[in-house]
Amino acid sequence: MPKAERSKADIRKWLELFREEFGADPVAMFEERASRGEVNNWRKKWLHSPKQHDMAGTHSTRVRNWAVEEGKLKEHHCHKLKKLYQSNRTEIIWTSGDIAQFNRFAPKWVQRILTAGCETGLRAADLVQVKVDQFEDTPHGKRLRFRTSKRGQIAYIPATSALEKLIAETPEGQEVLLVSELGRPLTARWASNQITKWRREAQIPPWIDGREKTLSDTRGTAATRLLNADLSLRQIAVLMGWSVRYAAQVIEHYAQVSPDESDAVLGKLNRAKSLSQDTKM
């Protein structure tokens, strides 16, 4: 079960809704193929919200999997229920103009959150866990050595000039890189909420399709920053969990919507593509 309290609350909510719908029915009904249709009909209550529709299936399937594991069911037929929700936010980026506008309004401790996101590409859950002593000296500066929570892999992230400045400005004795106004460690949710709050204060324009920019949308910006820090496309792809081709597409997209950086970024990208192709030969 996920550790985050919000996730636990979500699970309890969906298990209760599942119990309300099927609690009076015999458990053995889920051994029948027709039960898949029953579950899909139940999920249709949330067709207006694809994300909730999918969560209904995900969490109710957990119950059936548990029942099979515990010997209460021989089998069930609700594996791989069709999902409606599709999310692709990697095309949404924070431009240099967005960041400058944000920093004119947000307090310093919130500025640090956005900077760390844009310079590392780490997810919010990892970002708030970064400790100052996880930065190592290298012949050319510093790098962050961090085990990501999603894949459990060690990531080596070069410290850009902006990230080095962040480290240098961290008060002596502060263990984690990012803290609240009162100097306390942040949760991922609180950090994300602060970016949303001050984005609104700064009136950062939404993406062209109306979606608002969030802390999670710093990854495309970070990919470009890391390219400028001389990471290869393959290294960026591994860090972000993307393919090399997709990493190149995201960075190229960043250059197209950031005219002030376009030429420099595209020049770097073309050189990185050439190196990537040479490596394959």
Q: What angle do CA 79, 85, 90 make, to 5 degrees?
A: 125
Arithmetic mean of pLDDT, 199-224: 87
**Confidence band, pLDDT 50/70/90 cuts, at residue 275:** low
> Which has the higher per-residue pLDDT, 233 or 118?
118
- The answer to which of 123-137, 160-174, 202-216 has the lowest mean pLDDT is 202-216
> Which has the higher per-residue pLDDT, 226 or 188?
188
**Confidence band, pLDDT 50/70/90 cuts, at residue 281:** very low
Longest dimension (CA), the chain: 67
Burial code of 208-237, b = ≥16 C-beta within 10 A, e = fewer?
eeeeebbbbbbbbbbbbbbbbbebbbebbb
Q: What is the pLDDT of residues 33-74, one digit of tens each?
A: 998 999 999 999 988 887 788 888 888 898 899 989 999 889
CB-CB contact of 27 with 72 (8 Å): yes
**Token reading at 261:** 């950086």
Arithmetic mean of pLDDT, 224-230: 80
Residue 241 has pLDDT above 80, yes or no: no
Residue 156 has pLDDT above 90, yes or no: no
Arithmetic mean of pLDDT, 85-91: 66
> Which residues does residue 157 pair with via DSSP β-bridges, in sequence order?
144
Residue 2 has pLDDT above 60, yes or no: no
Q: What is the percentage of the chain residues whose pLDDT exceeds 90?
A: 37
> Which has the higher per-residue pLDDT, 255 or 261?
255
Domains of the chain by range and CATH?
5-69 (no CATH), 96-280 (1.10.443.10)
